[in-house]
Amino acid sequence: MQVNWSRFISSLTYYEIATNVPPVAGVYMLYEELSDGSLKCIYVGETVNLVIALFEHLSEFEENKRIKNCVSHYTCGFRFAMVSDRRIREGMVNFIIQACELKMNKSFPNVLPIKVNLPGIDEIE
């Protein structure tokens, strides 16, 4: 399945979310900048409202310590794709978890992975 990923947004901040992300359903990928300057996808999520989901990662109540650390040091970027169908979003997430070997994510049970185009690191501006 081919989806249209947003451009890479290099800072997960309230400002960047508010100015670049529509309040619609979709899938998002969070990236951490490593010490050598390279980027690694660390988390994928799906939601009925991209803005709210991304804002929640900035909250003091964020439970994921790696995301919280990433956000607090401004080394966390993201990109998203607008996808309205919940089952497609869940299948995409399951595929991305496998493809990117994400350890922090939990797969959706009883949902087959849906293969999607993954944005390449070379596409990051």
Residue 59 sits in a domain of what CATH number?
3.40.1440.10
Share of the chain residues as helix, strand and coil, in percent rounded to the nearest 5: 35, 20, 45
**Which residue reads 């990117």 in tokens?**
100
Rounded-to-integer distance, Cα 2 and Cα 23, Å: 21
Q: In the chain, how many domains are there?
A: 1
Question: Each residue of 50-96: pLDDT tens digit?
Answer: 999 999 999 988 888 888 888 887 678 999 999 999 999 999 999 99
In a domain, 111, yes or no: yes
Residue 75: both structure tokens together: 């080394």
In a domain, 1, yes or no: no
Residue 63: both structure tokens together: 């439970």
Give me the mean pLDDT over the 112-117 stretch: 95
In a domain, 8, yes or no: no
In a domain, 2, yes or no: no
| Average pLDDT, rounded, for the chain | 90
Name the percent of the chain lying above pLDDT 90. Answer: 66
In a domain, 71, yes or no: yes
Residues paired with 40 in a beta bridge: 32
**What pLDDT is stored for residue 50 in this prediction?**
98
Q: pLDDT class for 122, splitting at 50, 70, 90?
A: very low
Rounded-to-integer distance, Cα 9 and Cα 6, Å: 8
In a domain, 79, yes or no: yes
In a domain, 58, yes or no: yes
In a domain, 3, yes or no: no
Task: Find the domain containing 20 and state its range.
Answer: 14-123
Residue 26: both structure tokens together: 């979709």
pTM of the predicted protein model: 0.91
**What pLDDT is stored for residue 74 in this prediction?**
63
